[in-house]
């Protein structure tokens, strides 16, 4: 019986956490920014990738700011460009956060529709600090494109 009471307490705590998160609508919340090493991810060198024919990811927003800092919430607009021989596979889209590449794709897709052309998120709510988002998309030939968005929020 003790185990069931403990399980009930854990579920209540988890549901309370999910409920609190959904009310604040954070893309990445302050606790996760620390837990998943957001600032360490910002400072890490990008991975080297082999050059080949692959889809392209263009980050249209946020635009480069003179001081390099953004105020949350801010827009993120991304365009995907397929190669002539294969279309974008929208189901392969991922957004990974920080140095540990925590998958936040489901959070982003709650607020915007991702299509073969890209997506626009009007209000990305990310806490103060330095952050790295890694965007990934594949085409129908399973060639993966990856692009990093490094931002500093004041």
| Residue ranges of domains in the chain, CATH in brackets | 26-153 (2.60.40.1220)
In terms of phi and psi (left: phi > 0; alpha: psi -120 to 50; beta: otherwise), the region of 85 is alpha
Taking the C-alpha atoms of residue 36 and residue 149, their distance in angstroms, rounded to an integer, is 16
The three-state secondary structure class of 111 is helix
**Do 70 and 62 meet the contact criterion of CB atoms below 8 Å apart?**
yes
Q: Which residues are within 8 A (CB) of 86 and not within 5 positions of it... i.e. 6 or more apart?
A: 55, 139, 140, 141, 143
What are 66-123's pLDDT values in tens digits?
Answer: 677 899 899 999 999 999 899 999 999 999 999 899 999 999 999 999 999 999 999 9
Indicate the pTM of the whole model. Answer: 0.69
What are 42-64's pLDDT values in tens digits?
Answer: 777 766 555 567 899 999 999 87
């Amino acid at each position: 019986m003790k185990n069931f009471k403990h399980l009930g307490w854990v579920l209540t705590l988890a549901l309370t956490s999910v409920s609190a998160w959904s009310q604040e609508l954070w893309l990445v919340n302050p606790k996760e920014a620390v837990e998943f090493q957001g600032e360490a991810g910002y400072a890490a060198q990008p991975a080297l990738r082999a050059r080949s024919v692959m889809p392209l990811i263009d980050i249209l927003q946020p635009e480069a700011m003179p001081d390099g800092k953004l105020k949350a919430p801010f827009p993120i607009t991304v365009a995907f460009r397929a190669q002539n021989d294969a279309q974008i596979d929208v189901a392969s889209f991922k957004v990974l956060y920080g140095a540990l590449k925590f998958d936040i794709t489901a959070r982003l897709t709650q607020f915007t529709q991702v299509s073969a052309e890209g997506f626009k998120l009007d209000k990305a709510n990310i806490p103060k600090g330095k952050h790295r988002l890694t965007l990934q998309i594949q085409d129908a030939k399973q060639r993966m494109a990856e692009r990093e968005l490094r931002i500093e929020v004041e």
